[in-house]
Structure 1
Amino acid sequence: MISVGQQLPSATLGQLTKDGMVNHQVSDLFAGKKVVLFAVPGAFTPTCSEAHLPGYVVLADEFKAKGVDMIACISVNDAFVMKAWGEAQNASELMMLADGDASFTKALGLEMDTAAFGGVRSQRYAMVIENGKVTMLNVEAAKSFEVSKAEAILAAL
């Protein structure tokens, strides 16, 4: 598993924008920025939709006031799903990123097998990234939602 002090692995993440599909190289996307990246097991799922994503939407201005350049949500879903979920959640201030084949999630060592639920998905976590390097990493215990919520990350900044 990736740890604090390490550079993010190379990967390509998808984002569907009003101009079409954009494929971001992780190294370029996070270069020169302070980013909060949080991962959810699945878009439109209960905890993710009722608490995890909304917390970051509500507190986006407070994160920016603490010097965060970007808040990004990532899931092992496709870019079409991530765009629709972001729109449904009024998450226009956040970057909704798709790791469709779980390659980034696997490179981080943060994948989990949910079997019939959806196969390989991401564990729930939040990290702070500064210029591509992990400076904070909070991974949730199974079926838990405490250390990756927006309030916990904001308090630690």
Structure 2
Amino acid sequence: MQPGAKLPDVTFRTRVRDESIGGPNPYRWEELTTADYFAGKRAVLFALPGAFTPTCSTFQLPGFENGFAEFQAQGIDAIYCLSVNDAFVMNQWAKAQGLANVQVIPDGSGEFTRRVGMLVRKDNLGFGLRSWRYAAVINDGRVEAWFEEPGLCDNHGEDPYGVSSPESVLAWLRDSAQEQAA
């Protein structure tokens, strides 16, 4: 996606904790739209091939989670992690990672990912359809900056990581702030 592009309008099927339900699984379905996540705020969105996978769990997600204060200092209101996984998987991954700052977005059907042009086949890993790794700075539902890993294709033999890293996005935010101040 190019800077200035509007994010596609998609409805995400999420599961949210609701103590009024009681029992061992007090969650209910809640539909949230692209606007619910991005309208009226400046956010970082990063997407990855799958919850619980090595690069995603070891570097990318923890980097955004641990760097949240630095992102806030650069004018970011929220950080979202999106994957073509269902709400159950995304919630369990968030819990396993001890997330307090990054919010997860389940794109279980891959609709959002398809509409931003990042849906790829990962049959070579037994994953099926998944997201290519990317990040973006989103300002009120529009792309401000796009960070896409090189080599976008189906069944890529590697898992490129660097362009969409928290360090790369943060460096862009700092540079952009300096340019605006000059």
What TM-score do you get using the length of structure 1 for normalisation? 0.95
Pick the aligned partner of 2:129 from 99, 120, 126.
120
1:88 aligns with 2:96: yes
Please tell me whether the aligned partners of residues 57 and 90 of structure 1 are also in contact (alpha carbons under 8 angstroms): no
User: Aligned residue for 2:66?
Assistant: 58
Please tell me whether the aligned partners of residues 15 and 96 of structure 1 are also in contact (alpha carbons under 8 angstroms): no
Structure 2 distance, partners of 1:141, 1:45, is 19
Shift of 1:12: 1.1
Pick the aligned partner of 1:76 from 80, 84, 106.
84
Structure 1: gaps spanning 5 or more residues: none
Letter of the aligned partner of 2:90 in structure 1? M
Q: Per-residue CA shift, 1:40-76, capped at 9, x if unaligned?
A: 1000001111111010111011111211111000000
Which moves more between the two structures, 70-79 or 88-97? 88-97
Q: Per-residue CA shift, 1:117-155, capped at 9, x if unaligned?
A: 211100000000000000110011242111111111011
User: Aligned residue for 1:144?
Assistant: 160
Q: Per-residue CA shift, 1:8-60, capped at 9, x if unaligned?
A: 01101233221233221102321110010000100000111111101011101
User: Aligned residue for 2:139?
Assistant: 130
Which moves more between the two structures, 18-27 or 29-38? 18-27
SS in structure 1 of the partner of residue 145 of structure 2: strand
Structure 2 distance, partners of 1:59, 1:111, is 27
Structure 2 distance, partners of 1:49, 1:42, is 9
Identity %, equivalent residues: 42
Structure 1 distance, partners of 2:75, 2:29, is 28
1:39 aligns with 2:9: no
CA RMSD of aligned residues (A): 1.2
| Structure 1 residue ranges (4+ consecutive) displaced by more than 2 angstroms after TM superposition | 14-17, 19-22
Give the structure with higher Rg (CA): 2
State how many pairs are aligned: 156
